[in-house]
């Protein structure tokens, strides 16, 4: 498996809106392109100073 990672940092006041944009619009648009090897897109969220889970 090959995974492509992208990191984005947002302040807490807009983090929820940014996560919604990613999952509801951007990831959906990418999935709608039906790129054959693409199986999934996901978002992980955590504090900048803590662990991401």
Residue-by-residue DSSP string for 18-41 = HHHHIIIIIHHHHHHT--TT----
For residues 32 and 21, give the distance between their C-alpha atoms in angstroms, rounded to a whole number. Answer: 15
What's the DSSP call for residue 32? H
Per-residue pLDDT tens over the stretch 3-50: 888 888 888 899 899 999 999 999 999 889 998 888 888 888 887 765
Supply the pLDDT for residue 40: 84
For residues 38 and 28, give the distance between their C-alpha atoms in angstroms, rounded to a whole number. Answer: 12
Supply the pLDDT for residue 21: 93
Q: Is the pLDDT of residue 53 over 50?
A: no
Supply the pLDDT for residue 45: 83
Does pTM surpass 0.95? no
Contact 52, 45 (CB under 8 A): yes
């Amino acid at each position: 498996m090959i995974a492509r990672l992208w990191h984005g940092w947002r302040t807490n006041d807009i983090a929820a809106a940014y996560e919604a944009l990613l999952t509801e619009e951007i990831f959906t648009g990418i999935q709608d392109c039906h790129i054959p090897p693409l199986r999934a897109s996901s978002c992980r969220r955590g504090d900048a100073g803590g662990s991401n889970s």
